[in-house]
Amino acid sequence: MRKLTLPLSDADVRSLHVGDPILLSGVMLTGRDTAHTYFLDELLKDPLPESEKDVAAAVRPLLQGGAIYHCGPVVKKVDGGYSFVAAGPTTSIREEPYQGDVIKHFGLRVVIGKGGMGAKTLAACQEYGAIYLHAIGGAATLIAKTVAQVEGVYKLEFGVPEALWRIRVVDFPGVVTMDSHGQSIHEKVEADSRAVLQRLMKG
């Protein structure tokens, strides 16, 4: 079991391969559909809109060498702040149209979710040095216990599930299922399943 701390270097990422279990610690962001379109539609503008400068200044350093977790958390207010009640992974393929460009433009190293992603994201992982970390579906409350602190939230106007939650995690568990060497467990499972289906249909 590898223990890694964010932000990750290119060497960290290139040393990982599909099947490697890791425990990830450090500060990362949650982000779903609205977050990804926001990154690409607003934070890449030149000049940057005045209204987005504060968020950009906070978010860009977290993405550089960092991780984004496809998660719509269940959150409660505590003592003037927030805590995560549940933090299960969202199905990642929804972000396939955007993820490769986010990796490219923001220096993202780790994408976390469930179900895997497609060819565009895999190509970006290989070219720019990133991995896809498969989180445990159905373990939302267990994963929430790895969130040591909710450090803040950006764009809460998107709604709680779609907002950018800044969280500090300790020993967040996952398995590398897409690596920076062009390997994808999800791609292999799909190809193997297709071959079995064809054999069955031939009778």
pLDDT band at 186 (very low <50, low <70, confident <90, very high): confident
pTM of the model: 0.93
Average pLDDT, the chain: 94
Q: Is the pLDDT of residue 29 over 60?
A: yes
181 is annotated as an active-site residue: no
Question: Would the pLDDT of 136 be above 70?
Answer: yes
* Domain spans in the chain, listed from the N-terminal domain onward: 2-202
Exactly one of 17, 36, 105, 181 is catalytic; name it. 36
pLDDT recorded at residue 197: 52
**DSSP string computed for 61-122:** HHHTT-EEE-B--EEEEETTEEEEEE-PBPBGGGGHHHHHHHHHHH---EEEEBS---HHHH
Query: What's the CATH class of domain 2-202?
Result: alpha beta
